[in-house]
């Protein structure tokens, strides 16, 4: 199968004012990543500038100089690029910094920017910038919408040119760690810790190492039983901890770039320490101690809740679960354990409040988990640019600390001066030719990497840059593509689930409208819509979830008057005739936004049509087809949701548009 | 895996007044079925009476005599049993009649009935009494709730002792034909017509032949392409018809007991003649001519509808599809084609009107298809005895003819003097030890066979007989089991889907309540419930479906005042406050029946508890566990449905019971 190169697709530049720098390359450093940096720069020079650049190691007075200079200012991974008197120096604080600097330099060339007087100095905001692949070893991908896995097939590990191209792509946006297998570790994946997979993991690990990417795998907590043949997986049983220690030490010996392990325990049927009346700290620390000798890290997911709830129960609240389960454990986790916390308290809905657990455990490392696989946001058949959502989350003030209290502060380590922290994304790639199914979905991958590095970038700037890197860089293309991206999340929110309520999707596959789809189910996902009211009371009168927030957030959410309206129904049960700040009632807001959302999709299609002549026809058609599907599906959403509420309330649309009865 | 013998489980009788007849067995006939009859009688004598009976061929003055005497009065398959002066003569009109007579005689013994002066003369009402297995060749069963297939595993055919025991079971209740593979013919099953399966089919066919059972398989209409390598499956293409003729002739040569073929064409994604702009008659007749030389039969299913409907469309009506598709073709089908028509116009809901197609095609052979696999009626986790439903269907007057116009008349051939007619059941068996998952589900299989033979048997009589054949025959057991069975369908209807509306189930697997589960889907399955009304208008003001019935049925259904109330919402859209004949409103009826249904399950459990001491403890526990599940699930149905309608209408329960809001 052929595949494309996404934003690393190099096309010749007809003319380029700064091409003369690329006649001479001096390399003053050694290492795997330095070699990669040279290879990448050589390739880019050849393909973009048609220059066969050759690396020399001599006194450099002009051209390009790659060098390592350790400085505190740049941390471990930062770099500087500076031009002076004909010499562009790319200096990394470590060898991977040089590689990142080279990718930045290539970007400048690809975008045709002048390099005279260039001066960039940057280091990543987040120590850990990790992708989570939910790839199964049979080749399927849980919540995958871009084809099958390129890591696994028929219970074997795939290593080929695509593995390299994957590493290039994600390293070019600053990703420094990748979990290659699904957090639900089933079947053959349990044996990734076994010697049968040493060779395959070793080969992937080597490729990753050249791009500064730490290899992670997901573990099955019950592996001592299924793989080890023990009778228990009790984390406090010495045989168990010994087994893990030996198993993982041998594994690390065979695969030296294997740096960490992701664990989903005691959730949705996965095994965990609860089976043995142990807590999450017991489980995580046992593993942490098993891998400490080689500097291994344990990332422990906080997606833990009772998935056998009863819709008749108005007190049990899935939203409370993460905080209730983990808060009491603050201070109990070892240093090399990090908790990975989903951005919201539910599960990647189009709109959720920020998880109150983030920032609430000062003595515990935390990673923010977002999902760029569009499980609930259109499954890469709809355009839904998620960077604006992530920006809102990162900017949220938790009030967990007297200063530096935003989510961005917490996960970057600024708040509590932590190092094993950062940001994770459940990733949206597969073996489709364009990697992400929908071409526009690549903007989420690109954007995640860029944002993980620099959380102060704006959504527009990232969209703009992705567009210029991906398409013909003419102004109209960049403008229209940016416009489409920036419209897409608000539009998706409008034509799907209103005012923060969520979950109005078909069960299991989570695609398409079904207002009652999860209403009477066991997953804790209810809208409670009656003939007169809708929403979930999460104030102290209801489930009490609001009390998990620090003040003034708790009070803000608790009071109907101060609760942000986009989250109104997440926190409150209100009459349909409740009046919003716009002067509209809730029901009229539902009707209006659903009509508007569809209109916005129409305008996105117009923008795309307008740039047809500037876009490769294969790509234009491919996107156009998905946009047409999105349009039809947005109408289905609009009609099902509006009809559902009209049928339930009998309240007519003030604008008398067609709502099917 | 071990399995049980269901109603053929023979236990020793301590004393039996008529045991002396079984000292001598005279056989005056020859044939495979005669051999089987002798084997069966020998086995029963040994196991029930501890007598080693031996067959002799001599002048018979006492004991048992098996003989064939062709008489018009008994048709091809009937038999007589008569005692005279110490000799019990079992005479069949053909050899299979003798076998049926022997099974009847064994039943009499097993039930401990006195045989002196016994006089039975019977022949089957229906020429074709056929079971449809929806078994896939990978071993799974579509809509199977009793384990995996005992015919197929890993794309191979299984032939073992269980095949024989299956044949015994179904022959003992008069089944004379079996389709062993799913009507959706996919993957390996397409190759059942190919020589690779001759041996396996031949072995099953031989076993079946000994029990008077014709072997049928389901065909894939596109097999000329997938199996034959042709470029088309156009039924009017000579290469296609030649291919089928050769393929099926060779197949019949190898498997002489293969007597017929079932086809689902042009429905739910299955291929068919529509692809080539041909009609069902073109497709069916082409196959019929291919098999005519060896007396083969084609059964063509009428489950054909557009499964890409739009819920916004109020005119297209899935219920109309069978009639609309097939009625114009009356007179066009060859003699050896039979149309197989589901009992209702939708799909095996707990309550549907009778399909208007039945009896509407005087020149066309018809088979009635019912489903004893409880797809929509509790999936063999709930007890739902379906024989009372089938009795209602069979007794329905179609007014298609001046006399003999019931469904029973039509399918038995009485109405139009037809022979290739009868009744089919989608069967409920699998490789579970007890064959049917729920022990009580065996009553549906038993009952179907008995009813197919004699449509004038009452539901109670069948329940009673099944209970006595299956359990300890003490009066309290028989009484309580019969009571449980007779309560079960009404109870299931009460706590699930009210007043004929149907489809309030979870999509795909069809289990458990989901009122809107199919409401906005593409399958033509809508209840149209708003805040003030519910139901589908199928009168001429609506979809016009009522006009497919003959008068006076059409008028009866069309008028709100004469429409049977159990089908009210199938035919009419009415306000929730519409008053029923009971004086209750529709909404109050919904609430009341849902509470009542649960109470009835409770009383069923009481009845079962009462007989605990009389029932084998393994069986009692097995049933009890399922009844407890049924109880909990009935409550879930009650609560979801009542809450749904309370939330939608705001109308409170007149009895102020707990309805969650």
pLDDT tens digits for A502-559? 999 999 999 999 999 999 999 999 999 999 999 999 999 999 999 999 999 999 999 9
Chain A: nearest CA to B514, how far in angstroms? Answer: 8
HEC-encoded secondary structure of B231-254: CCCCCCCHHHHHHHHHHHHHHHHH
Residue A256 near chain B (CB below 8 Å): no
Classified as helix, coil or strand, A602 is helix
> Which residue do the tokens 């031989």 mark?
B206
Q: What is the pLDDT of residue A49?
A: 97
Q: What is the pLDDT of residue A61?
A: 87
pLDDT band at A62 (very low <50, low <70, confident <90, very high): very high
Residue B49 has pLDDT above 90, yes or no: yes
Chain A: nearest CA to B627, how far in angstroms? Answer: 21
Instruction: Round to whole Å and give the CA distance between B379 and B162.
Output: 23
What is the pLDDT averaged over residues B417-443?
98
**pLDDT (tens digit, 9 = 90+) per residue, A169-219?**
999 999 999 999 999 999 999 999 999 999 999 999 999 999 999 999 999
pLDDT band at A472 (very low <50, low <70, confident <90, very high): confident
What is the pLDDT averaged over residues B341-349?
98
Instruction: Round to whole Å and give the CA distance between B607 and A426.
Output: 54
Residue B532 near chain A (CB below 8 Å): yes
Structural tokens at position B490: 């009404």
**pLDDT (tens digit, 9 = 90+) per residue, A376-414?**
999 999 999 999 999 999 999 999 999 999 999 999 999
Residue A505 near chain B (CB below 8 Å): no
Q: Which residue of A has its CA nearest to B661?
A: A530
Instruction: Round to whole Å and give the CA distance between A37 and A48.
Output: 16
Whether residues B531 and A643 touch (CB distance < 8 A) is answered with: no
Q: Which of B47, B95, B347, B592 is catalytic?
A: B347
Residue A535 near chain B (CB below 8 Å): no
Residue A268 has pLDDT above 90, yes or no: no
Q: What is the rounded end-to-end Cα distance, in angstroms, of chain B? A: 48
Whether residues B530 and A644 touch (CB distance < 8 A) is answered with: no
Q: Which long-range contacts (CB under 8 A, 24 or more apart) does A36-43 make?
A: A36/A99, A36/A171, A36/A210, A36/A211, A37/A66, A37/A90, A37/A98, A37/A99, A37/A101, A37/A102, A38/A66, A40/A99, A40/A102, A40/A103, A40/A106, A40/A168, A41/A66, A41/A102, A41/A105, A41/A106, A43/A10
Whether residues A531 and B648 touch (CB distance < 8 A) is answered with: yes
DSSP A32: H
For residue B311, the chain A residues in CB contact (below 8 A) are 660
Q: What is the pLDDT of residue B56?
A: 81
B92: β partners: B68, B79
- Residue A228 — φ and ψ, nearest 5°? -85, -15
For residue A647, the chain B residues in CB contact (below 8 A) are 529-531, 648
For residue B644, the chain A residues in CB contact (below 8 A) are 516, 520
Q: What is the pLDDT of residue A24?
A: 92
Chain B: nearest CA to A589, how far in angstroms? Answer: 20
Whether residues B643 and A513 touch (CB distance < 8 A) is answered with: no
Instruction: Round to whole Å and give the CA distance between B191 and B119.
Output: 48
**pLDDT (tens digit, 9 = 90+) per residue, A245-257?**
999 999 999 999 9
Instruction: Among A520, A530, A639, select the one facing B513 at the smallest CB separation.
Output: A520
Whether residues B647 and A531 touch (CB distance < 8 A) is answered with: yes
Dihedral of the CA atoms B398, B400, B404, B410 (nearest 10)?
-80
Residue A113 has pLDDT above 80, yes or no: yes
Query: Do residues A134 and A373 make contact, with C-beta atoms less than 8 angstroms apart?
Result: yes
Please report, rounded to a whole number, the percentage of residues in chain B having pLDDT higher than 90: 96
What is the pLDDT averaged over residues B509-513?
97
Q: What is the pLDDT of residue B268?
A: 84
Query: Do residues B635 and B594 make contact, with C-beta atoms less than 8 angstroms apart?
Result: no
Residue B531 near chain A (CB below 8 Å): yes
Instruction: Round to whole Å and give the CA distance between B645 and B592.
Output: 12
Burial of B249 per CB tally in 10 Å (0-12, 13-18, 19+)? middle
**pLDDT (tens digit, 9 = 90+) per residue, B552-598?**
999 999 999 999 999 999 999 999 999 999 999 999 999 999 999 99
A268 assigned to active site: yes
CA A272 to chain centre: 25
Residue B661 near chain A (CB below 8 Å): yes
Helix axes A442-453, A387-395, angle to 10 degrees: 30
For residue A515, the chain B residues in CB contact (below 8 A) are 516
- Residue B156 — φ and ψ, nearest 5°? -120, 165
Give me chain B's average pLDDT, please.
97
Q: What is the pLDDT of residue B566?
A: 98
Residue A506 near chain B (CB below 8 Å): yes
Q: What is the pLDDT of residue B465?
A: 98
Whether residues A650 and B514 touch (CB distance < 8 A) is answered with: no
Give the side-chain half-sphere CA count within 13 A for B589.
21
Chain B: nearest CA to A532, how far in angstroms? Answer: 8
Q: What is the pLDDT of residue A351?
A: 98
Whether residues B514 and A520 touch (CB distance < 8 A) is answered with: yes
Q: What is the DSSP string of B312-325?
A: T-SS--GGGHHHHH
Give me chain A's average pLDDT, please.
97
What is the pLDDT averaged over residues A58-79?
92
**pLDDT (tens digit, 9 = 90+) per residue, A156-177?**
999 999 999 999 999 999 999 9
pLDDT band at A117 (very low <50, low <70, confident <90, very high): very high
For residue B523, the chain A residues in CB contact (below 8 A) are none
A/B interface, count of CB pairs below 8 Å: 51
Whether residues B530 and A650 touch (CB distance < 8 A) is answered with: yes
A375 assigned to active site: yes
Instruction: Round to whole Å and give the CA distance between B448 and B7.
Output: 14
Whether residues A515 and B513 touch (CB distance < 8 A) is answered with: no
Q: What is the pLDDT of residue B388?
A: 98
Q: What is the pLDDT of residue A473?
A: 85
Whether residues A530 and B660 touch (CB distance < 8 A) is answered with: no
**pLDDT (tens digit, 9 = 90+) per residue, B451-463?**
999 999 999 999 9
Query: Do residues B610 and B480 make contact, with C-beta atoms less than 8 angstroms apart?
Result: yes
Please report, rounded to a whole number, the percentage of residues in chain A having pLDDT higher than 90: 96
For residue A646, the chain B residues in CB contact (below 8 A) are 530
Residue B652 near chain A (CB below 8 Å): no
Per-window interface: B 305-324 vs A, CB < 8 A: 311-312
Probe site for chain B from A648, A651, A657, A659 (most B CB atoms < 10 A): A648
Instruction: Among A312, A531, A646, select the one facing B639 at the smallest CB separation.
Output: A312
Please report, rounded to a whole number, the percentage of residues in chain A having pLDDT higher than 70: 100
Whether residues A530 and B639 touch (CB distance < 8 A) is answered with: no
Q: What is the pLDDT of residue B177?
A: 98
Classified as helix, coil or strand, A289 is helix
Instruction: Among B312, B514, B531, select the one facing A660 at the smallest CB separation.
Output: B312
pLDDT band at A58 (very low <50, low <70, confident <90, very high): confident
Instruction: Round to whole Å and give the CA distance between B329 and B265.
Output: 15
What is the pLDDT averaged over residues A594-599?
98
Instruction: Round to whole Å and give the CA distance between A386 and A459.
Output: 9
């Amino acid at each position: 199968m052929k595949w494309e190169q996404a934003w690393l697709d190099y096309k010749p530049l007809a003319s380029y004012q700064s091409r003369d720098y690329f006649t001479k390359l001096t390399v003053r450093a050694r290492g795997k990543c330095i070699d990669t940096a040279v290879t990448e720069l050589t390739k880019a020079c050849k393909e973009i500038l048609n220059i066969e650049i050759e690396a020399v190691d001599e006194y450099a007075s002009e051209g390009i100089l790659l060098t390592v200079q350790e400085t505190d200012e740049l941390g471990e991974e930062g770099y500087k690029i500076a031009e002076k008197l004909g010499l562009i120096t790319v200096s990394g604080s470590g060898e991977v910094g040089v590689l990142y600097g080279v990718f930045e330099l290539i970007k400048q060339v690809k975008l045709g920017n002048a390099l005279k007087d260039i001066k960039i100095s940057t280091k990543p905001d987040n120590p850990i910038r990790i992708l989570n692949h939910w790839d199964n070893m049979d080749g399927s991908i849980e919540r995958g919408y871009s084809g099958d896995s390129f890591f696994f097939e028929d219970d074997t590990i795939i290593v080929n040119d695509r593995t390299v191209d994957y590493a290039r792509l994600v390293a070019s946006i600053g990703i420094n760690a990748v979990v290659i297998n699904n957090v639900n570790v089933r079947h053959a994946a349990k044996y990734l810790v076994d010697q049968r997979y040493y060779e395959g993991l070793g080969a992937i690990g080597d490729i990753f190492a050249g791009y500064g990417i730490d290899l992670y795998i997901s573990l099955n907590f019950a592996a001592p039983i299924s793989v080890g043949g023990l009778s228990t997986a009790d984390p406090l049983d010495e045989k168990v901890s010994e087994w893990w220690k030996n198993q993982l030490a041998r594994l690390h010996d065979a695969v030296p770039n294997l740096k960490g392990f992701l664990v989903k325990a005691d959730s949705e049927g996965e095994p965990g320490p609860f089976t043995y009346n142990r807590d999450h700290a017991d489980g995580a620390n046992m593993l942490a101690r098993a891998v400490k000798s080689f500097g291994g890290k344990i990332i422990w997911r906080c997606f833990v809740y009772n998935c056998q709830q009863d819709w008749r129960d108005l007190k049990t609240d899935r939203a409370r679960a993460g905080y209730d389960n983990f808060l009491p454990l603050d201070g109990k986790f070892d240093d090399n354990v990090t908790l990975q916390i989903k951005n919201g308290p539910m599960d990647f809905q189009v709109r959720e409040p920020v998880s109150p657990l983030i920032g609430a455990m000062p003595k515990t490392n935390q990673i923010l988990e977002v999902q760029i696989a569009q499980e609930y946001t259109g499954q890469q058949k709809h355009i839904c640019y998620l960077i604006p959502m992530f920006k809102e989350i990162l900017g949220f003030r938790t009030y967990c600390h007297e200063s530096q209290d935003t989510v961005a502060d917490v996960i970057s380590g600024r708040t509590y001066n932590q190092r094993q922290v950062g940001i994770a994304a459940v990733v949206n790639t597969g073996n489709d030719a364009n990697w992400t199914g929908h071409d526009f979905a690549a903007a989420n991958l690109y954007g995640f990497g860029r944002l993980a590095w620099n959380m102060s970038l704006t959504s527009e700037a990232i969209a703009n840059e992705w567009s210029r890197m991906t398409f013909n860089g003419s102004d109209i293309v960049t403008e229209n593509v940016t416009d489409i991206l920036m419209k897409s999340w608000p539009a998706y929110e409008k034509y799907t689930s209103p005012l923060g309520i969520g979950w109005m999707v078909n069960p299991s596959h989570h695609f398409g409208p079904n207002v009652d789809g999860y209403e009477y189910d066991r997953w804790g996902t209810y809208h409670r819509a009656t003939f007169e009211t809708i929403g979930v009371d999460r104030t102290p009168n209801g489930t009490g979830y609001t009390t998990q927030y620090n003040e003034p957030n708790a009070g803000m959410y608790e009071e109907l008057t101060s609760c942000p309206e986009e989250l109104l129904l997440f926190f409150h049960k209100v009459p349909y005739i409740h009046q919003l700040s716009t002067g509209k009632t809730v029901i009229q807001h539902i009707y209006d936004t659903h009509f508007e959302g569809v209109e916005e999709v129409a305008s996105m299609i117009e923008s795309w049509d307008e740039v047809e002549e500037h876009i490769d026809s294969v790509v234009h058609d491919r996107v156009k087809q998905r946009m047409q599907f999105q349009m039809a599906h947005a109408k289905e959403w609009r009609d099902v949701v509006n009809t559902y509420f009209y049928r339930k309330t009998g309240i007519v649309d003030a604008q008398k548009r067609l709502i099917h009865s």
